[in-house]
Structure 1
Amino acid sequence: MCELEGDRNKWAEKERNLRGTIKCVLKCDVHKSNPLDPVVLPPADCLVSLLCLEAACKDHSSYRAALRNINSLLKPGGHLVLSGDLGTSFYMVGPKKFSCLPLTEEFLREALSAMSFTVDTVEVVSQADVAQHDICDFSGMYFIVARKN
Structure 2
Amino acid sequence: MDPKPLKSYHLHGMDSRDFLKCYFEENNVFAEESLVMIMEQLHIALAAANVKGQTLIDISLGSIIHQLYTVSEFFNEITILKLNDTCILELNKWLNTRTGAFSWGHASKIVTQLQGIRGQEQEKEEKLKNSIKRIVKFNLNKKNLTDPVVLPQADCLLTAWLLDAICHNENDYIKNLRKMAKMLKPGGYFILIECLHGTYYTAGTERLHMFTCDESFITKTLTDERFVILSCKILERKVESDLIDHKQVIVLTAVKGND
Partner Cα separation in structure 2 for residue 8 and residue 71 of structure 1: 34
Is 32-41 or 113-122 further displaced after alignment?
A: 32-41
Q: Secondary structure at the match of 2:135?
A: coil
Map 1:85-100; keep pairs closer than 5 Å.
85-100=195-210
Q: 1:28–1:18: structure 2 CA closer, same or farther, 3 Å change rule?
A: same
Q: 1:140–1:31: structure 2 CA closer, same or farther, 3 Å change rule?
A: farther
Partner Cα separation in structure 2 for residue 147 and residue 54 of structure 1: 21
Structure 1 residue identity aligned to 2:145: P
Check the 8 A contact 1:53/1:63 in 2, yes or no. yes
Q: 1:146–1:59: structure 2 CA closer, same or farther, 3 Å change rule?
A: same
Aligned length: 147
Hey, what does 2:241 align to over in structure 1?
A: 133
Q: CA deviation at 1:7?
A: 3.0
Structure 2 unaligned residues grouped into runs of 5+: 1-41, 48-72, 74-113
Structure 1 residue identity aligned to 2:250: Y
Normalising by the residue count of structure 2, what TM-score does the alignment of the two structures yield?
A: 0.53
Check the 8 A contact 1:2/1:8 in 2, yes or no. no
Normalising by the residue count of structure 1, what TM-score does the alignment of the two structures yield?
A: 0.88
Map 1:38-49; keep pairs closer than 5 Å.
38-49=148-159
Q: CA deviation at 1:31?
A: 4.7
Structure 1 residue identity aligned to 2:236: S
* 1:55 and 2:181 matched: no
Partner Cα separation in structure 2 for residue 94 and residue 62 of structure 1: 26
Aligned match for 1:16, one of 117, 123, 126: 126
Partner Cα separation in structure 1 for residue 169 and residue 141 of structure 2: 12
Structure 1 residue identity aligned to 2:246: F
Check the 8 A contact 1:30/1:70 in 2, yes or no. no
* 1:82 and 2:192 matched: yes
Is 35-44 or 73-82 further displaced after alignment?
A: 35-44
Partner Cα separation in structure 1 for residue 134 and residue 222 of structure 2: 29
Larger radius of gyration: 2
Is 43-52 or 2-11 further displaced after alignment?
A: 2-11
Structure 1 unaligned residues grouped into runs of 5+: none
Is 2-11 or 50-59 further displaced after alignment?
A: 2-11
- Identity in percent: 29
Structure 2 residue identity aligned to 1:132: E
Q: CA deviation at 1:42?
A: 1.0
Partner Cα separation in structure 2 for residue 52 and residue 105 of structure 1: 16
Q: 1:103–1:32: structure 2 CA closer, same or farther, 3 Å change rule?
A: farther
Partner Cα separation in structure 2 for residue 7 and residue 101 of structure 1: 34
Two-structure CA RMSD over aligned residues (Å): 2.0
Is 117-126 or 30-39 further displaced after alignment?
A: 30-39
Hey, what does 1:143 align to over in structure 2?
A: 251
Show CA shifts across 1:34-63 (max 9, x none).
222221111100111111111011111010
Structure 2 residue identity aligned to 1:80: F
Check the 8 A contact 1:2/1:9 in 2, yes or no. no
Q: CA deviation at 1:30?
A: 4.1
Q: CA deviation at 1:2?
A: 6.2
Q: CA deviation at 1:106?
A: 0.3
